[in-house]
């Protein structure tokens, strides 16, 4: 776990330099330093200020809540909800003590997705009892390489509930269960395609909780109208998910499991959390909106005052916004806040108020507690499987949990194509690029320096992509060129920048041979654009720091690549605002990942009339990483949409360009050419 220091990301040095073109010009000071910390702070503030800001009355809340519920399910990968298939619940063992019984069991929340669990039952029940779903935090119990599940770590909670008249179902999580799946796709394993899929391991945990409630309601010992949920840390987060999306929960106590975006993004707490703590933030929520979905049901927020990964300030801010929604319901007594002394730890000071909250709201009992929560069993006594099932999908569920768009068909006619295209474009606007700024802001183009060499005028500019993102634009143009000369915009990735920066005098002046090789015989206007985080604006830091920068974008309902598509759009607008280039035909060239960015930018910028693409990614598993995109389309569909709008020259044929070629041939568009850019 890492501590949360405000602007922790300022440890990332943003590269700036003194830049000049070759030919004897004096180097010019150049302040192209996107203020990354300020950017994240401003974007976070925008979401914070919008959170629940349009809810002024109970009528407002009731009118919006249904759509909020649908949005939250979607952001968890649960819209539509998966089929409630047979749970195939199986009890593999039973352990008895003087005052309780533990059943060791598993069920399948969907075929092949196993949930291992312990059901804690009080002895001597004279009727159906209230039940609590206990969802575990990250408490691994592993002996000699064998996982006993985090249910063994948190067993004392189940024991207390059973000894005090509750049925308690304690379920293992995907990451630390007896069958060990993955929570850490973006956090540790570089599985950025999770963003493309709209997948988060939080969705699996939420679905497992839904099916756990189904199981509890199937048991004769359980009063299905008196269900509660609690857990701490990761279990605190899962308590939020299930309480917010499933109204069968009548009382909830999430412990140290939620705070706001300011803590996560600005203060850096995201660096202490794996992916299961976060939804795919398509609709750009701040986290109080998740908690508010529980109102007016009984909800108590618990935290400790020196918790490093759920800091007190964010918990207090979250409580204040959620309290307003409870007040609209005249249900302030249904919402509680407990702050205890101590760090991020499962303490008795946190347990006692939680137990009393359930007694009050599930039993109507407000008497004092007389029993502590204790661990009473060995991990081996709680283990469900002797041998793990061969048909389990837990270890690969991230590959299938969220459906992807089917392979595209060749449209039969223009009308069918238009329907397909319009659907994809709507998805791009509302689900993929929702985190873009508003359109129409001036690019604020500023010339930084100019020099003439060997008949070429070389200029460097800066332009504003969005608040706190100032990017470079380089222009090489024959002296005396007419305004109607063709403009070629080259969008560079890191390799492209490394090559071209030598000719642009980034550092040392190039030789005449190098200059001639780069610009010799140039008869058109050549513009170089470098999106954020690449080349001169690269974010420094080790691989872990780079990972956490990208995860901050994710929490804001963006991706770094998605915002780079925006940067390309703004580069096009900036190039066309240069005097003499306003109406010139525009060709845009790119290679590799940059080619993928260019394809998407071309769908929104009508000025782009020609694309030259080399090594275009075949699919989004290769990149670029765009939020949710694979739920709706892949690179073949995007390339086909681009081909309708602009002439495409492709450096090589692959699945993406072949589909675009087939659509072009069917509908009579200009065919794709097959030449690589220089």
The CATH number given to whatever domain includes residue 313 is 3.40.50.1820
Kindly list the distances between the CA atom of residue 142 and the CA atoms of 11, 61, 179, 379, 400, in Å, as whole numbers in the listed order: 35, 46, 12, 9, 27
Last residue of a domain, which of 531, 559, 584? 584
At 589, list the tokens.
């060239």
For 106, which DSSP code?
Answer: E
Under the phi-then-psi rule, with left for phi > 0, alpha for psi from -120 to 50, and beta for the rest, what region is 413? Answer: beta
- Residue at a domain's end among 555, 584, 613: 584
Residue 215 lies inside a defined structural domain of this protein: yes
Same domain, 429 and 477: no
Could you tell me if 327 and 192 lie in one domain? yes
pLDDT number for residue 501: 79
**92 shares its domain with 216:** yes
Q: Do the domain assignments include residue 40?
A: no
Q: How far is CA 240 from each of CA 96, 234, 652, 658, rounded to the nearest angstrom?
A: 32, 10, 48, 45
In a domain, 29, yes or no: no
Pairing mode of beta strands 469-478, 446-453 = unpaired
Q: Are residues 472 and 531 in the same domain?
A: yes
The answer to whether the beta carbons of residues 107 and 86 sit under 8 Å apart is no
Residues 139 and 51 in one domain: yes
Give me the pLDDT at residue 199, please.
98
- In this structure, are 227 and 336 located in the same domain? yes
Please give the pLDDT value at position 29. Answer: 34
> How far, CA to CA in Å, does 439 sit from each of 41, 45, 396, 442, 570?
21, 19, 40, 9, 10
Is 592 a domain residue?
no
- Chunk the chain into consecutive blocks of 10 residues (it has 678) and report each block's average pLDDT, rounded to whole numbers: 40 35 36 74 98 97 98 97 98 97 98 98 96 96 96 98 98 97 96 97 98 98 98 97 98 96 96 96 98 98 96 97 98 98 96 98 96 96 97 98 96 98 98 97 94 86 95 89 80 90 58 71 88 91 92 98 98 94 90 97 95 96 96 98 96 90 96 64
Angstrom distance (rounded) from CA 94 to CA 381: 9
Indicate the average pLDDT of the chain: 91
Sign of the C-alpha dihedral computed for residues 599, 601, 606 and 612 taken in this order: negative
For residues 517 and 657, state if they share a domain.
no
In a domain, 558, yes or no: yes
Same domain, 375 and 408: no
Can you give the pTM of this predicted structure?
0.94
Given 377, 399, 421, the domain boundary residue is 399
Chain-centroid distance of CA 242 in Å reads: 19
Query: For residue 276, what pLDDT is reported?
Result: 96
Evaluate whether residue 562 is within a structural domain: yes
3-state DSSP assignment of residue 406: coil
544 shares a domain with 475? yes
Question: Which residues span the domain enclosing 565?
Answer: 442-584
**DSSP code, position 144:** T
Residue 570 lies in a domain: yes
Question: Looking at the structure, do residues 364 and 393 belong to the same domain, yes or no?
Answer: yes
> Which residues pair with residue 9 across a beta bridge?
none
In a domain, residue 37? The reply is no
Packing angle of the helix pair 234-245, 201-218 (nearest 10 deg)? 70
* 152/189 same-domain check: yes
Whether residues 470 and 577 share a domain: the answer is yes
Q: Which two tokens stand for residue 196?
A: 């493309």
Q: Kindly give the interhelix angle for 593-602 and 560-575, rounded to the nearest 10 degrees.
A: 60
| pLDDT computed for residue 504 by the predictor | 66
Cβ pair 108, 120 in contact under 8 A = no
| Total count of domains within the chain | 3
Q: Please tell me the predicted confidence (pLDDT) of residue 454.
A: 82
Length of the chain (residues): 678
Count helices and strands (H / E) in the chain.
Answer: 19, 21
């Amino acid at each position: 776990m890492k501590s949360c220091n405000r602007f922790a990301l300022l440890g990332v040095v943003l590269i700036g330099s003194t830049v000049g073109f070759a030919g004897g010009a004096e180097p010019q000071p150049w302040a192209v330093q996107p203020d990354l910390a300020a950017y994240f702070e401003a974007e976070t503030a925008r979401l914070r200020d919008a959170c629940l800001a349009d809810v002024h009355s109970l009528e407002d809340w009731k009118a919006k809540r249904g759509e909020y519920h649908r949005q939250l399910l979607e952001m968890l990968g649960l819209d539509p909800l998966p089929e409630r298939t047979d749970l195939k619940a199986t009890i593999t063992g039973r352990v008895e003590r003087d005052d309780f019984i533990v059943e060791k069991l598993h069920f399948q929340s969907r075929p092949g997705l196993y949930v291992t669990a312990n059901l804690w039952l009080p002895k001597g029940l004279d009727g159906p009892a209230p039940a609590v779903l206990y969802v575990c935090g990250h408490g691994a119990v592993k002996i000699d390489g064998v996982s006993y599940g985090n249910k063994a770590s948190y067993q004392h909670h189940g024991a207390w509930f059973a000894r005090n008249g509750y049925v308690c179902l304690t379920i293992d999580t995907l990451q630390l269960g007896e069958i060990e799946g993955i929570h850490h796709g973006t956090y540790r394993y570089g599985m950025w395609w999770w963003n493309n899929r709209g997948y988060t391991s939080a969705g699996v945990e939420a679905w497992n909780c839904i099916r756990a409630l189904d199981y509890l309601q199937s048991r004769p010992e359980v009063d299905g109208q008196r269900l509660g949920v609690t857990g701490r840390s990761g279990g605190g987060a899962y308590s939020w998910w299930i309480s917010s999306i499933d109204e069968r929960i009548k009382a909830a106590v999430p412990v140290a499991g939620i705070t706001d975006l300011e803590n996560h993004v600005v203060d850096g707490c995201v660096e202490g959390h794996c992916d299961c703590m976060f939804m795919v933030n398509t609709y750009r929520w701040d986290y109080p909106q998740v908690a508010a979905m529980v109102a007016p049901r009984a909800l108590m927020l618990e935290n400790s005052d020196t918790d490093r990964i759920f800091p007190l300030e964010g918990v207090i801010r979250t409580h204040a916004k959620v309290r307003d929604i409870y007040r609209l319901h005249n249900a302030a007594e249904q919402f509680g806040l407990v702050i205890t002394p101590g760090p991020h730890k499962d303490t008795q000071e946190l347990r006692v108020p939680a137990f009393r909250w359930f007694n009050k709201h599930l039993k109507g009992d407000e008497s004092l507690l007389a029993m502590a929560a204790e661990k009473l069993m060995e991990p081996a006594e709680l283990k469900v499987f002797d041998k793990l099932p061969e048909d389990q999908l837990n270890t690969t569920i991230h590959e299938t949990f969220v459906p992807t768009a089917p392979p595209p068909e060749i449209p039969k006619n223009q009308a069918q194509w238009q329907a397909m295209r319009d659907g994809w474009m709507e998805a791009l606007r509302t689900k993929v690029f929702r985190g873009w700024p508003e359109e129409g802001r001036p690019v604020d183009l500023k010339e930084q320096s100019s020099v003439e060499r060997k008949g070429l005028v070389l200029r460097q500019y800066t332009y504003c992509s969005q608040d706190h993102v100032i990017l470079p634009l380089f222009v090489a143009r024959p002296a005396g060129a007419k305004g109607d000369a063709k403009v070629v915009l080259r969008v560079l990735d890191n390799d492209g920048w490394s090559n071209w920066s030598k000719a642009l005098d980034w550092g040392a002046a190039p030789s005449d041979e190098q200059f001639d090789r780069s610009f010799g015989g140039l008869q058109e206007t050549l513009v170089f654009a470098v999106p954020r985080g690449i080349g001169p604006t690269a974010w420094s830091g080790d691989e872990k720091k780079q990972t956490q920068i990208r995860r901050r974008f994710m929490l804001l309902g963006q991706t770094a690549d998605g915002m780079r598509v925006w940067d390309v759009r703004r580069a096009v607008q900036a190039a066309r605002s240069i005097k003499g280039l306003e109406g010139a035909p525009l060709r845009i060239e790119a290679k590799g990942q940059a080619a993928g960015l260019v394809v998407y930018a071309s769908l929104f910028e009508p000025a782009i009339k020609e694309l030259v693409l080399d090594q275009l990614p075949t699919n989004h598993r290769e990149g670029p990483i765009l939020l949710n995109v694979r739920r709706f389309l892949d690179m073949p569909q995007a390339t086909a949409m681009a081909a309708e709008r602009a002439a495409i020259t492709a450096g090589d044929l692959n699945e993406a360009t072949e589909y675009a070629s087939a659509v072009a041939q069917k509908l009579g568009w200009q065919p794709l050419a097959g030449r690589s850019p220089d």
